[in-house]
Structure 1
Amino acid sequence: MTITLFGISNCDTIKKAKKHLENNNLEFNFHDYRKQGLDAELLTKLENIFGWEAMLNKRGTTFRQLSDEQKQNINKESALAIMLESPAIIKRPILLSDNHSLIGYKAAEYDALSA
């Protein structure tokens, strides 16, 4: 099984997800948006799986720094543009494997990967 974890390496939730995978002896590739980048093709692929609303992290600093006008008028087009410009606004982690697509970290969901 091929597992790819997407996110930002200094994120605490990413660290929990990585530790969970490692503790369960699940090999994975980590794609750091800051180091490896995020292009429109990958963003479109992720949006097709999860939908932009699920991907938009409204609790993070990046979202809070948007203007009130940006927050009130956010739609698919503007959200994707912001995600491309500031990938830190994407909810983390995103995990893709051969038969799982997960967004966010919940231990029970990650336990199912090794079942």
Structure 2
Amino acid sequence: MIVYGIRSCDTCRKARRWLDDRDLDHDWVDLREDGVTTADLRRWLKAVGPDALVNRRSTTWRQLAKAERPAMQASAVLPVLQAHPTLVKRPVFERGDEVRVGFSANVRDWLERS
């Protein structure tokens, strides 16, 4: 499993601690430090859609001028996410072909299933 997030994000720290407490093996990718590829973004957009992937409650979103805020279509969102990877809702969990975003009870249940 690969977990994408930002080291300073409270939710990401909580998720990583939760994974470690359960000995769930995972690789960590920091979106801010390591960046994110266009292929990753496209895969996530296809799997969960722009409404789930874009964090419209983030500081980055609020700092964007209204004209810069994309319509919630994958084609419009992709370049904005490339320019501002902190707009990705975090953490992103990728296991095989499956992708989950956020750290809700549903995601935790999915993570515990082998």
- What residue in structure 1 maps to residue 24 of structure 2? 26
Structural RMSD (CA): 1.7
- What residue in structure 1 maps to residue 71 of structure 2? 74
The TM-score with structure 2 as length reference comes to: 0.87
Q: Is the 8 A contact 2:93 2:101 kept in 1?
A: yes
Q: Is the 8 A contact 1:20 1:107 kept in 2?
A: no
- What is the correspondence of 1:1-115 to structure 2 with a 5 Å cutoff? 3-71=1-69, 74-76=71-73, 77-98=75-96, 100-115=98-113
The TM-score with structure 1 as length reference comes to: 0.86
Q: Distance in 2 between matches of 1:16 and 1:108?
A: 15
Between stretches 92-101 and 28-37, larger displacement belongs to 92-101
Q: Is the 8 A contact 1:21 1:110 kept in 2?
A: no
Cα distance, 1:114 vs structure 2: 2.5
Which residue identity is paired with 1:67?
Answer: A
* Runs of 5+ consecutive residues of structure 1 not aligned to the other structure: none
Q: Stretches of 4+ moved more than 3 A in 1?
A: none
- Identical positions, percent: 28
Q: Distance in 1 between matches of 2:106 and 2:52?
A: 19
Cα distance, 1:48 vs structure 2: 1.1
Q: Secondary structure at the match of 1:17?
A: helix
Question: Which structure has the higher relative contact order (CA within 8 Å, separation 6+)?
Answer: 1
Which residue identity is paired with 1:68?
Answer: K
Q: Is the 8 A contact 2:44 2:99 kept in 1?
A: no
Q: Secondary structure at the match of 1:38?
A: coil
Q: Is the 8 A contact 1:100 1:113 kept in 2?
A: no
